[in-house]
A = this chain, B = another copy of it.
Amino acid sequence: MKQSNREVAEATGDVGRTMADTTYRRLRNDIVTGRLGAGSKLKLEGLAGIYEVGMSPLREALTRLVGDLLVVSEGQRGFWVAPLSLDELDDISRVRALIETEALNLAIRNGNSSWEAAVRQAFEALTEIESRLPQTTEPLDPEMVEDWERANRAFHAALVSASGSPMLTRLREQLYQQSERYRRVSLNASRRWRNVHDEHAAIFDATMQRNALKAARMTELHMSRTAEEVRRAMQQLAADVASLTERENAGDA
Q: Residues on A close to B: CB < 8 A?
A: 15-18, 20-21, 55-56, 59-60, 63-64, 66-68, 74-77, 88, 91-92, 94-95, 98-99, 102, 165-168, 171, 175
Instruction: Known contacts A55-B56, A56-B59, A75-B15; decide if A165 and B95 are in contact (CB<8 Å).
Output: yes
CA distance A55 to B56 in the complex (A): 9
Residues from chain B with Cβ under 8 Å of A165 in the complex = 91, 94-95
Residues from chain B with Cβ under 8 Å of A55 in the complex = 56
Residues from chain B with Cβ under 8 Å of A20 in the complex = 63
Residues from chain B with Cβ under 8 Å of A91 in the complex = 165-168
Q: Are the CB atoms of B167 and A75 closer together than 8 Å? A: no
Q: Are the CB atoms of B102 and A98 closer together than 8 Å? A: yes
Residues from chain B with Cβ under 8 Å of A60 in the complex = 59-60, 63
CA distance A55 to B54 in the complex (A): 14
Residues from chain B with Cβ under 8 Å of A59 in the complex = 56, 60
Which residue on chain B has the smallest CB distance to residue A56?
A: B56
Which residue on chain B has the smallest CB distance to residue A94?
A: B165
